[in-house]
Amino acid sequence: MRAKNQRMTLVLLGMGAMLIAALLAMWGLRDRAALFLSPGDLRTRSVPAGQAVRIGGMVRPGSLVRAPDGVSLSFVVGDDTPRTVPVSFRGVPPDLFREGSGVIAEGSFAPDGRFVAAELLAKHDENYKPPDKVAAAHRTETLR
Amino acid sequence: MIAEFGLAALWLAAALGLLQLLLASAAARAEGPAVALRSVRAVAGVQGLMAGLSFAALLLLFWRTDLSVALVAANSHSSKPLLYKLSGAWGNHEGSMLLWVTVLALAGAAVALLERRLSDRTLAATLGAQGAIAAGFYAFLLFASNPFARLAQAPPDGQGLNPLLQDPGLAFHPPTLYLGYVGISVAFSFAVGALVTREVNPVFARAMRPWVLGAWTMLTLGIVAGSYWAYYELGWGGWWFWDPVENASLMPWLAATALLHSVTVLAARDGLRAWTIVLAVVAFSMSMVGTFLVRSGILTSVHSFAVDPARGTFILALLLLYIGGALLLFGLRIGTVRAGRQFEAVSREGALVANNLLLSTILGVVLFGTLYPLALEGLTGEKISVGPPYFNAAAGPLALLMIALMGAGPLLRWRRDELRAAARRIALPAALGIAAFAAVLLLRPDIGVLPLLGLVLAAGVGLASVAPLFGRSLRRTPLFTWGMVVSHLGIAVALAGAAADAAFTSETLVALRPGQAADVGPYRVRLDGVRPIAGPNWTAVEARLSATRGDGGFALAPQSRAFSSPPTETAEAAISTRLDGQLYTVLGRPTEDGRWQLRLWWKPWVTLIWLGGALVALGGALTLVGRWRRERRSAERLAWA
């Protein structure tokens, strides 16, 4: 490293590092970020099978079916629109998971249109509302 | 009375913060009166005392479960065990922010009372900056998050604390984390102080270093404790989730780690002056960004309990004011900071620059990934989630590269080194790495690329990190060299644990009747029975499991707990730590036909993750003590001369 230019070199290296970080982030975000959709969103956009997505909504009362192996289950996620999503999951559902309460299913669609969840999140917060409900609650507050 | 006393102490502390800023501006002037500095020191000390009293008042309110205070009524319950009554004081937004400013004020008071190396003017300017930060966050508490607000009518009992937070981990994790997270504010104030008085030099770096080391050590401990808490309490078997709240503590750690290394170059070799200042500003900026993310309620995540846009705007304004102000000052003064001493590319300094560049790049990647979904949702309304696939792919390889360089760096000489001589010093660890590569490929050819590289690096870097001790008298090696060795070894150990967990974990998910058994890894786990039990403020069903592996067995008892206030169920995992790993069991739900869901993991060597993390923190503590002893000894020598 030439003595005179050392500070300039360091500045360029620092900027280079930030540029690499930005490029890496953009590349990673394009391929690896999962969309977060509510069932209603699926009326207007189609998600190809196999793409990572999160579906957030409410577990429809009466839709929960447990398989004979004792660890697989299926249920239907809906929101305040008519569109619903059938979900299947193998595992121990989170503590707050129950019919009629909020859930986020992380996984991808199978070719037959069924959503295969790799993970279920029921927010560990009794105040939790799925994303639309929060937005809706905010709208009501502003109107008031 | 106690609540009013706490509030009064908080107002007083806020006023003292402003006074500290005013007095400091007088004292930092070249011709400033000497009495001004003494009074700044005194004001900073009293401000710390007032904030401490205010926090003590909140603790007392929670201890006595004073339900006329809104915060206590919303977050506590008379039937809670004492430990969780007290820790409940910071298990909520207002109390947590009060702890935050208390740590800030105490850090400022510590600087005022203990710091003797800085020039008077720089010290005054530093305390002024610390007072300015404190004043802003006091205003936030007083105007947007008053922890002492009273209720018109006290309810018959409180609403209770989120059961996930009723855990010894919560008593320990946030205070430790905040000591580091907020303690790094001292580095920020030092940087501002040195820019104001144009005294960016090795003396300044030596004065700043112990504060950075102390904060970094606590931050490391806090992150390690938080990771273990999430591991056993959430019952998902994972130890790092790339949750935005976790990233909020990781980002200041990355910046503080870079700062720790560059301040060493500045102290020892008078290089990287401007660089060190930028890192000090960035480190605390990351703490404030993290505070904004967690405390504004912008995230809907496991850790966040608030949705309140007014608060978010307030913190965002403070954030822009302080970060913008510091960067503006930097822009104005950078011309007056002379370039430091030169060094060759192949040298200890060169390696430390590489460490800084890689840490900064990782920081950038994590910051982008954390903020991008928020920005996208704010701008377009589209919701995406950025999780482990992104962070592992983007930050993982950079982290491995950095760890590889970490093994080589301490084996290089300061200023300039011969490439061939350096290669000879690195040859032995490299050979061990190659041997590990061959061994893993022969024994377990099916593991992924990142875990494979992780295991190989852990072996090579583990050896390389103790190599600086080779050929030295161990008793005469300075304590701070031991500190570096222990910290670097800790990174290698933690990497080994993480890679082994990723590569070799086996998982079984079954529904069993009492008397039936299932296999996981080398173990056979039998469900002996399920029985109801009761705790102080919960009831539970508890499964009794016995695990055997050829030889004698041992028992585990995972529970599914039901809390009455607030009404919540949590799974309490039962974890058995063996010499070569952990057996992790979670009790699920009963099925209609009388079976019980069980989730079992065998996680070989997983404990190394936190053992390594603890070693990293221990290394920080050793270095701190080592530097302190060295300085005391040279001060004594000066006194004798």
pLDDT digits (tens, 9 = 90+) for A40-98: 888 887 888 878 888 888 899 899 888 888 888 899 998 888 889 999 998 877 767 88
Rounded alpha-carbon distances, angstroms, from residue A45 to A32, B367, B373: 19, 29, 19
Chain B CB contacts of A19 below 8 Å:
none
A93 interface with B at CB cutoff 8 Å: yes
**How far B595 CA lies from chain A's nearest CA (Å)?**
7
Regarding beta strands A34-37 and A53-59, do their DSSP bridges make them parallel or antiparallel, or are they unpaired? parallel
Quick: pLDDT tens for B444-490: 888 888 899 999 999 999 999 999 998 888 888 899 999 999 999 99
Chain B CB contacts of A24 below 8 Å:
361, 365, 394, 398
Smallest CA–CA distance from B305 into chain A, residue = A125
Tokens (6 digits) for B543:
């499964």
The answer for residues whose C-beta is within 8 angstroms of residue B598's C-beta and 6 or more apart is B508, B509, B510, B511, B512, B518, B525, B527, B543, B545, B558, B585, B586, B587, B588
Would the CB atoms of A33 and B384 count as touching at under 8 Å?
yes
Q: What is the pTM of this model?
A: 0.90
B-facing residues of A in 23-42 (CB < 8 A) are 24-29, 31-37
Which of B299, B341, B384, B600 has the highest number of chain A CBs within 10 A, making it the mutation to test binding with A? B384
**How far A20 CA lies from chain B's nearest CA (Å)?**
7
Quick: pLDDT tens for B29-85: 877 677 888 899 999 999 999 999 999 999 999 999 999 999 999 888 888 888 888
Give which of B581, B620, B588, B623 is closest to B604, Cα–Cα: B581
B341 interface with A at CB cutoff 8 Å: no
Strand partners, B542: B531, B559
As for the ipTM of the complex, it is: 0.72
B87: left (phi over 0), alpha (psi -120 to 50) or beta: alpha
A136 interface with B at CB cutoff 8 Å: no
Would the CB atoms of A35 and B383 count as touching at under 8 Å?
yes
Instruction: Work out the pLDDT band at B253, boundaries 50, 70, 90.
Output: very high
Chain A CB contacts of B387 below 8 Å:
34, 106
Can you say how many angstroms the Cα of residue B586 is from the centroid of all Cα atoms in its chain? 27
B164 interface with A at CB cutoff 8 Å: yes
Regarding beta strands B581-590 and B596-604, do their DSSP bridges make them parallel or antiparallel, or are they unpaired? antiparallel
Chain A CB contacts of B305 below 8 Å:
125, 127
Q: What is the mean pLDDT of chain A?
A: 77
Q: What is the mean pLDDT of chain B?
A: 90
B344 interface with A at CB cutoff 8 Å: yes
Smallest CA–CA distance from A70 into chain B, residue = B511
**How far B204 CA lies from chain A's nearest CA (Å)?**
20
